[in-house]
A and B are shown apart, each in its own frame.
Chain A
Amino acid sequence: MSHIQTCDVELRDLEAVKTACERLGWSLVKGQKTFKWFGVWVGDTEAPRHLFHDEKAYRNFQAMSPESQRASMTSRMSWCDHAIKVPGADYEIGLQWDGACYRPVWDYYETGGLAEHMGTDGGKLAQAYAVEYAKRWAWSQGYSIEEQSLADGTVEISMTGGGL
Chain B
Amino acid sequence: MKKLKVLIAKDGKVTVEAEGYTGPSCAEATRKVAEALGKLDWGRAKPEYFETEITSQVTQSQG
Mostly, the A contact residues are mixed
**B10 lies within 8 A of A123 (CB):** yes
Q: Check if B34 sits within 8 Å of A158, measured CB to CB.
A: no
Nearest CB of chain A from residue B7's CB, rounded to whole Å: 5
Chain A CB count within 10 A is highest, among B16, B22, B47, for: B16
A154–B43 CB distance below 8 A: no
Nearest to A101 among chain B residues (CB) is B38
User: Scoring B residues 1 to 41 as 1 if CB is less than 8 Å from chain A, else 0, what string do you get?
Assistant: 11111111111111111110111001101110111111111
B1–A1 contact, CB under 8 A?
Answer: no
The total number of A-B Cβ pairs within 8 Å is 149
Q: Does A121 touch B at the CB level, under 8 Å?
A: yes
Cβ-neighbour of B8 out of A2, A5, A154, A158 (below 8 A): A154
B46 near A1 (CB under 8 angstroms)? yes
Point out the residues of chain B lying under 8 angstroms from A164, CB to CB: 2-4, 29
B residues contacting the other copy or chain, number (CB 8 A): 45
Q: Is the pair A152, B10 in contact by a Cβ cutoff of 8 Å? A: yes
- A127 in the interface (beta carbon within 8 A): yes
- Of the candidates B17, B35, B38, which one forms a contact with A4 in the assembled complex, judged by CB atoms under 8 Å apart? B17
B37 and A7 contact, CB distance less than 8 A:
yes
B49 and A127 contact, CB distance less than 8 A: no
Chain A residues near B (Cβ < 8 Å) = 1-10, 121-127, 129-131, 133-134, 137, 143, 150, 152-160, 164
With A3-B26, A9-B8, A134-B14 known, 19 other A-B pairs at CB within 8 A are: A1-B48, A4-B16, A5-B16, A5-B43, A7-B39, A9-B37, A126-B11, A127-B8, A127-B9, A131-B8, A134-B8, A134-B37, A143-B4, A150-B7, A153-B9, A156-B5, A157-B6, A160-B1, A164-B2
Query: Can you list 7 A-B contacts with CB-CB less than 8 angstroms, sorted by A residue number?
Result: A1-B48, A4-B44, A5-B41, A8-B13, A127-B8, A127-B11, A130-B37
